Every structure is written in C-alpha cells, then in structure tokens.
Structure 1
C-alpha cells in the first residue's frame, strides 16, 4: 500500500501538536518543541522518529522562492489523455515524477485527467517543457494552460486537528 493510501496512524494530542509545529517550521530544535508540548527533548525526538517511520512525516524540505532562483512563472496545466491503460498511465506518471519543473502532479476526476503545477524561467522554457511532454508521451491528447498571475498562498500544510 502506498504511503498516501495508508490507513491513518493513531495520533495523540502531543503528536498532533508536534505535527502542527514542524509543518510551520521544521528547523525547530527538539528543545524548543519539547517546551511547546511539555515533554523532554528525547521524548520529542522519539515521537518524531515514530512519525517518520509510520509514514506520517514523509519529508522535510526547504521552501524556495522560485522568483529568487530565476523561475518566476508558475503554470497550471490540465492534461487529457487518450487511453487509461495501466502501462501508459505508469509511463506518464514516471515522466512527470522525474521532471523537475513539475512541482505537483495530480491524477484527477473531471474533464482533466491530470492537473500539474509547473514552474518555468520563461515562456520559452515552458514551451520547451510542453514540447518534451508531448514528444515523450504520445498518450497525451490535449492540454490547457493557465498562468498564475500572483501567488495568494503556497503551502503543503495539512491541518492536524487537536484530538
């Protein structure tokens, strides 16, 4: 079973509070987290390790401002495919997963089969990306692109309600 399909892990109030805190700032020390949840630093470290092993925490990353690294464009791309044969879907999923410009890729219901968030340095760079996508994935029937004019919110925060 894939991590995203796994059953929810039994979380107590402290686990939930830790998750809220580390989602906002993964750089918080065990000592600072311990103060916030009223446990020892070693107990906090054990709990965080258990959350990682249990697949609740799946990664800890730096959030980079795309404009500051020369990728000011964000495109929202809807993709329709010809056929939903498993081998064709698998090939497209692997291609999207390996493409660094794709920040997020969602297999969806509705008119679009996939929704993508793509970052680009320029319109020409995005065009080259789309040419590669179409050349490498003959199963793509059509696509529609929207340009993000302004970022109102960018987050992967998952609300973790108290017990």
Structure 2
C-alpha cells in the first residue's frame, strides 16, 4: 500500500530527495542548480519536505574502521514468549545499547534481527556475555559475523 504522503511529491521534490540522499552536504545553491529551480524555490521545497516528514534527519556516515568499530555482527533473537509485554520489555532494554545500530521486529525464524558494531570478536563476546543473554525474555540468540559488507545504507529507489 502506498503512503498517501508520497502521492503529493512531484518530480522536483523527488529530485531534491534523490540528490540529498546521495550528498546531504549540498548547499541550497548547489541543490537548486542540480534540480533546475531557483534557490528560493529549492529552500521552500526542502523545508516543506522536512516538515512533511519526507526527510527524517540529516547526518554524516562515519567510516566504522576509522573509529575502531570494524566488526559488524548480525544477531537473530528468539524470545521465550510472543506477547506484547515481552516485546515491549525487550525493545525497552535494547534501546539503550550504544553498540546496537538497528533492531527490527521480523517475521520468520527470529523475533528480532539486530545489527551491532563492535571493535572485534572479543568485544562482541563481552557484549554477548554481559548484555545480550541478559536481555528480558531471550530464549535463543544466533550470531552472524559479517565477513564483507557488499552494500550498506543504499539510497532508497523511488
């Protein structure tokens, strides 16, 4: 089902979003030139995209290895119960984990898929021992160490 908010996006709005996805540091003047509108029009449209919830946030993508977080780990979590209370307790507990990049409630073999960044395998072992197995309601954890990142944080195709 298509989100009704995407219906009001015209060609220029979509073009602005595409350019900002690939380079969020573009100045308004550079962006206006790239999408072939005046700087004033570009600024007004960009503000409307922010206010309309089309642009959730702007941030830098930091090279993980440059800050000594070169190990990426995917973790599948199975809870002992599938109830709203057990999901809520788990979600509240993981919210404060600084190593956790993403947490998704999923259908299939796991209840949750976690994406975690750590320095190395020893760091993950410490995190696993101190935090992951102590999370509320966890029955089983399956760990997958990423050997090579092929494609990550790709721009949305629209």
The TM-score, its normalising length taken from structure 1, stands at: 0.88
Q: Greater shift after overlay, 36-45 or 65-74?
A: 36-45
With a CA cutoff of 8 Å and minimum separation of 6, indicate the structure with the bigger relative contact order: 1
Partner of 2:5: 8
Q: Is the 8 Å Cα contact of residues 73 and 116 (structure 2) preserved in structure 1?
A: yes
Quote how far apart the aligned CAs of 1:87 are: 2.4
Within the alignment, does 1:134 sit opposite 2:133 as a pair?
A: yes
Partner of 1:27: 25
Secondary structure of the structure 1 residue equivalent to 2:141: strand
Quote how far apart the aligned CAs of 1:20 are: 0.5
Equivalent position to 1:92, from 90, 93, 115: 90
Quote how far apart the aligned CAs of 1:128 are: 2.1
Q: Is the 8 Å Cα contact of residues 99 and 116 (structure 2) preserved in structure 1?
A: yes
Quote how far apart the aligned CAs of 1:125 are: 1.5
Instruction: Give the aligned length.
Output: 155
Q: Is the 8 Å Cα contact of residues 89 and 136 (structure 2) preserved in structure 1?
A: no
Partner of 2:113: 115
Rounded to whole Å, the distance in 2 between the matches of 1:21 and 1:134 is 42
Partner of 2:104: 106
The TM-score, its normalising length taken from structure 2, stands at: 0.91
Name the Cα RMSD after superposition: 1.7
Unaligned runs of 5+ in 2: none
Partner of 2:81: 83
